[in-house]
């Protein structure tokens, strides 16, 4: 039994949150699941309280989930957690790195700056420029800046009447503001999730699409399968995740006719794909990584 008090920032009752808490309790004897909707930040002191627990007194927190959806509010919750890091509490992953991935544009811009292979992407507020991007791409995916599991995404095809595309763009702008357009790439019925813990490659699984859907998300009926990634593909995933400093992440990769491209690096990563696709207990591996890091912190300097 390791004498460390580590909380899980997550969604009480959700499997991915509870399995982390179970592993931590088995290793440390301490269990605490924190729902960010119930947390209070005292700005004058920097103290973060969850009920009777002062989170600033913990040895660490594992940030699994701050909200069921990505939104500016989710980013606000991440910024609240930054006060823990400022007070010396180890956060896995670091709030500042997670924040870079909550907003799709900021995350993609970081990947582009890292010379990671991406689908051609255009960002604009101008409807005419957005229509020009659709003409250039032939087919495009219009993506909200804050979303997961393909929610809110719209497929726009140059074969459609331009007036139809314009109406869809205007309706999207009324709801989301900025246009973020990526060239539609043929997934061949699957894309990949490449798992990294502490920057180390663990495994790759495939998400195979369900019937009559353009995306492969489990939310839309996709299924997990094992996948043997080549060294070149692993190198691409490693390059992408290295743009951020995450304790645990999955890199979403598509194998296109023009070669592999990275769609995104996950702010939190999923345990289910690693378990069902690779047979990897990622939650347990994350806990082992976190405890090893905290034990290293406590070692006396040589």
Give the tens place of pLDDT for each residue, 201-210: 999 999 987 6
Report the percentage of the chain scoring pLDDT > 70: 94
Q: What is the mean pLDDT of residues 138-153?
A: 89
> From CA 227, how far away is CA 194, in angstroms rounded?
10
State the pLDDT confidence band at 215, using cuts at 50, 70 and 90: low
> From CA 284, how far away is CA 293, in angstroms rounded?
14
The answer to whether the CB of 233 falls within 8 A of the CB of 253 is yes
Summary mean pLDDT of the chain? 92
Query: What are the boundaries of each domain within the chain?
Result: 6-101, 121-183, 186-281
The model's pLDDT over 81-120, given as tens digits with 9 standing for 90+, comes to 999 999 999 999 999 999 999 999 999 999 999 999 999 9
State the pLDDT confidence band at 195, using cuts at 50, 70 and 90: very high
State the pLDDT confidence band at 275, using cuts at 50, 70 and 90: very high
Left, alpha or beta for 294 (phi > 0: left; psi -120 to 50: alpha)?
alpha
First CA to last CA distance, the chain: 26
Q: What is the pTM of this model?
A: 0.90
Architecture of the domain spanning 186-281: 2-Layer Sandwich (3.30)
Q: How would you write the chain as a 3-class SS string?
A: CCCCCEEEECCCCCHHHHHHHHHHHHHHCCCCEECHHHEEEECCCCEEEECCEEHHHCCEEEECCCCCCCCHHHHHHHHHHHHHHHCCCEEECCHHHHHHHHCHHHHHHHHHHCCCCCCCEEEECCHHHHHHHHHHHCEEEECCCCCCCCCCCEEEECCCCHHHHHHHHHHHHHHHCCEEEEECCCCCCEEEEEEEECCEEEEEEEEECCCCCCCCCHHHCCEEEECCCCHHHHHHHHHHHCCCCCCEEEEEEEEECCEEEEEEECCCCCHHHHHHHHCCCHHHHHHHHHHHHHHHHCCCCC
Beta carbons within 10 angstroms of residue 212's beta carbon? 7
Q: What is the mean pLDDT of residues 122-146?
A: 96
pLDDT of residue 302: 38
Query: Which CATH number, 3.30.1490.20, 3.30.565.10, 1.10.340.70, 3.20.20.70, labels domain 121-183?
Result: 3.30.1490.20
- State the greatest distance between any 2 C-alpha atoms of the chain, in Å, as a whole number: 70
State the pLDDT confidence band at 219, using cuts at 50, 70 and 90: low
> What is the CATH number assigned to the segment(s) 6-101?
3.40.50.20
pLDDT of residue 15: 95
- In this predicted structure, the answer to whether residue 212 has a pLDDT above a threshold of 80 is no
Q: What is the mean pLDDT of residues 47-65?
A: 97
> In the Cβ-directed half-sphere of 85, how many Cα atoms lie within 13 Å?
15
User: Of 135, 152, 133, 132, which is closest to residue 144 (Cα–Cα)?
Assistant: 152
For helices 95-102 and 72-86, give the axis angle rounded to 10 degrees. 170
The model's pLDDT over 8-47, given as tens digits with 9 standing for 90+, comes to 999 999 999 999 999 999 999 999 999 999 999 999 999 9
Residue with tokens 């995404």: 153
> From CA 9, how far away is CA 17, in angstroms rounded?
8
> In the Cβ-directed half-sphere of 113, how many Cα atoms lie within 13 Å?
9
Which tokens go with 296?
A: 């290293």
User: Of 200, 279, 294, which is closest to residue 247 (Cα–Cα)?
Assistant: 200
The answer to whether the CB of 227 falls within 8 A of the CB of 201 is no
């Amino acid at each position: 039994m390791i004498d460390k008090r580590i909380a899980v920032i997550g969604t009480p009752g959700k499997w991915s949150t509870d399995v982390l808490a179970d592993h931590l309790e088995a290793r440390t004897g301490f269990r605490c699941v924190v729902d960010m909707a119930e947390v209070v930040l005292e700005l004058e002191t920097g103290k973060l309280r969850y009920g009777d627990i002062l989170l600033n007194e913990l040895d660490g927190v594992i940030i699994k989930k701050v909200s069921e959806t990505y939104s500016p509010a989710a980013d606000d919750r991440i910024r609240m957690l930054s006060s823990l890091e400022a007070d010396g509490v180890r956060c896995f992953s670091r709030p500042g790195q997670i924040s870079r991935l909550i907003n799709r544009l900021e995350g993609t811009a970081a990947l582009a700056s890292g010379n990671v292979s991406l689908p051609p992407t255009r960002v604009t507020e101008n409807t005419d420029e957005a229509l020009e991007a659709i003409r250039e791409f032939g087919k495009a995916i219009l993506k909200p800046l804050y979303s997961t599991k393909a929610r809110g995404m719209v497929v726009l095809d140059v074969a459609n009447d331009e007036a139809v595309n314009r109406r869809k763009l205007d309706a999207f702008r009324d709801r989301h503001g900025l246009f973020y357009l990526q060239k539609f790439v043929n997934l061949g019925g699957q894309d990949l999730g490449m798992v990294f813990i502490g920057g180390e490659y663990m495994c790759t699984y495939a998400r195979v699409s369900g019937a009559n859907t353009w995306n492969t998300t489990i939310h839309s009926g996709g299924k997990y399968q094992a996948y043997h990634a080549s060294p070149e593909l692993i190198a691409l995933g490693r390059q992408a995740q290295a743009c951020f400093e995450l304790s645990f992440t999955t890199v979403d990769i598509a194998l296109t006719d023009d070669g592999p491209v990275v769609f995104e690096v996950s702010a939190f990563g999923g345990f289910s794909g690693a378990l069902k696709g690779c047979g990897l207990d990622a939650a347990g591996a994350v806990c082992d990584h976190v405890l090893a890091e905290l034990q290293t912190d406590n070692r006396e300097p040589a």
